[in-house]
Chain A
């Protein structure tokens, strides 16, 4: 991965005229977004529906223009440059293959527009079809292909042009789960092979975690956090990120004391919980501690050293195959969701003997909790 910046989005805001088309009734689709995407990176824009992912991508492609701010591709400000003069290519969610052309003509389209010599077009189209493992499909019509095949043709049609940046807008959205998983791995492998910068839009957190080098989490037009999958998952910067990606327990409380990055938070006025933070927090500040369900263990006795450990009562046990989900109440106002991997296959072994109503202890490492200030 090179260190040079492929795409820079600098303080970009996009407003659309609202439904009333009166001044003031505007929709702010993208709100002061700044991003730096590195050369050769697999970068994901992740967020719930309507958060402005597609709009951001369409601005990079040139289909929309920022209301304010600027987009740079390899250092060049894009301004009002139309899509056909940008060295980016897009894979659309519904593929947008030309129905009146064969697969080969679809793939050749970009090269033809750039007046590449005929023999080279033929060769590169064949290569591109081989790359997506659809050689021999060139003479078919797009409507004679399955969804997954159409998806791969859309990919070939974009990659054959060797763009500087490939933009993908939920390209796997229309596929069924199994095919989706297959294509995720395939896409990731392909990206590594061709070394092209991918900007990938998705609302599926698992997909983003699986495929990306880095992820930007978006919400209501703003970027909340940018980081590697590990950073995003292990050290969420705010409550929304922690909640949107994976499952999380939130323990509300007030700051008691801080020592370096370690904070003691008094939860519900009686449970002192120790967790990590990157900030200086004043004594008495209202915060929440985020702990992932799989980081908490059920134990027969308190665990000494580096552990938060409390006594509780089991309220719910749900067996889900790979794991068992427990709900344990620590106090009248505080309960925890806990996920235990089903390591042992016999259900009546000790690990599963915590029945509903049983008294147990819970324990998690100080490092496993994150203090969130919002």
Chain B
């Protein structure tokens, strides 16, 4: 707050002494910003609006209707895909949150041989192209003779989600005051009680944020899922893709809108949880 107050006059000063040039620059930057947002969100907006279109054709507006949403829920194939998506998302979130949290604890709290190398490797699934990871996983499943299906999708999602969960939980752990754990031990809590009563509750926002992130990533994933899916294990993004190949219908708009809404809600929660941590820390200083 005070930093901003101190910074503000100098910024104003720059704008003022530039007078004409400053005004033009401000106009250009503002316009550029607006254009960027338009570029980003106009397609989404169009998609959402046309999901409420009464017409069969995507390009003609024929009045407001929820007909495509109704159709969506009558579509057995679509519902099966939704069910698969949810199974995959829940299963992979559960497992990756558990393992990611434990990995984060190990990385943050303990010293062991090869930690530095493993630390770097942890970020690999986040960095390498998704298509490479998809091919790798596919080859692995073929070599290991695991039949493709919902299990292989879940395993693949766990593979990339562990990294994301670990990163989020580690950030939370790194910002945690180690003295709180010492204080607990000083107050007669043994290692296990210290973990349950102090460490875990303080990690919780990080764990939840990581889990929400994992759930969203799993729900939205296309490339890796496409490679590792088998017969009867179609997820929502795969279903949309196969429908698009046959021609675009407003039903696709409707299902996409649902997906966008779900993802945005989840990410928003995840961000809120991570933000709460930050304000908490600031207040404690």
Contact = CB atoms under 8 A, between A and B. Distances in A.
A98 B183 contact: yes
A94 interface: yes
Contacts of B186: 61, 63, 83-84, 88-90
Given A83-B182, A96-B177, A113 B284 contact: no
A99 interface: yes
B261 interface: no
B180 A89 contact: no
A357 interface: no
A335 B197 CA distance: 62
Interface in B197-250: 197-198, 201-202
A143 B188 contact: no
A89 B187 contact: yes
A92 B179 contact: yes
B250 to A, nearest CB: 48
Interface of B: 177, 179-180, 182-190, 193, 197-198, 201-202, 280, 283-284
Contacts of B189: 84, 109, 113
Given A84-B186, A110-B188, A157-B187, A99 B179 contact: no
Interface string A84-128: 110011101010111110000000011001100000000000000
Instruction: Choose among A90, A96, A142 the residue with the greatest number of B CB atoms under 10 Å from its CB.
Output: A96
A202 interface: no
Contacts, number: 61
B183 A143 contact: no
B190 A82 contact: yes
Contacts of A142: 284
A143 B284 contact: yes
A161 interface: yes
The 7 closest A-B pairs by CB, nearest first: A110-B187, A113-B188, A96-B183, A96-B179, A143-B283, A83-B185, A84-B188
Nearest to A110: B187
A113 B280 contact: no
B191 to A, nearest CB: 8
A98 B187 CA distance: 12
A125 to B, nearest CB: 13
Contacts of A113: 187-189, 193
Contacts of B188: 84-85, 110, 113-114, 161
A143 B280 contact: yes
Contacts of A63: 182, 185-186
A110 B193 CA distance: 12
Contacts of A161: 187-188
B187 A96 contact: no
Nearest to A107: B187
Interface string A143-160: 100000000000001000
Interface centre among A61, A82, A88, A98 (most CB of B within 10 A): A98
Contacts of A90: 182-183, 186
Interface string A50-65: 0000000000010100
A100 B189 CA distance: 16
B183 A99 contact: no
Given A98-B184, A100-B202, A110-B188, 14 more contacts: A84-B188, A85-B188, A92-B179, A92-B183, A94-B177, A97-B183, A99-B202, A99-B284, A109-B184, A109-B187, A110-B187, A113-B188, A113-B193, A157-B187
Interface string A28-71: 00000000000000000000000000000000010100000000
Given A84-B190, A89-B187, A109-B187, A96 B182 contact: yes
Contacts of B183: 90, 92, 96-98
A48 B280 CA distance: 33
Contact of A94 (B179, B201, B280): B179
Contacts of B201: 100
A349 B69 CA distance: 98
A82 B185 contact: yes
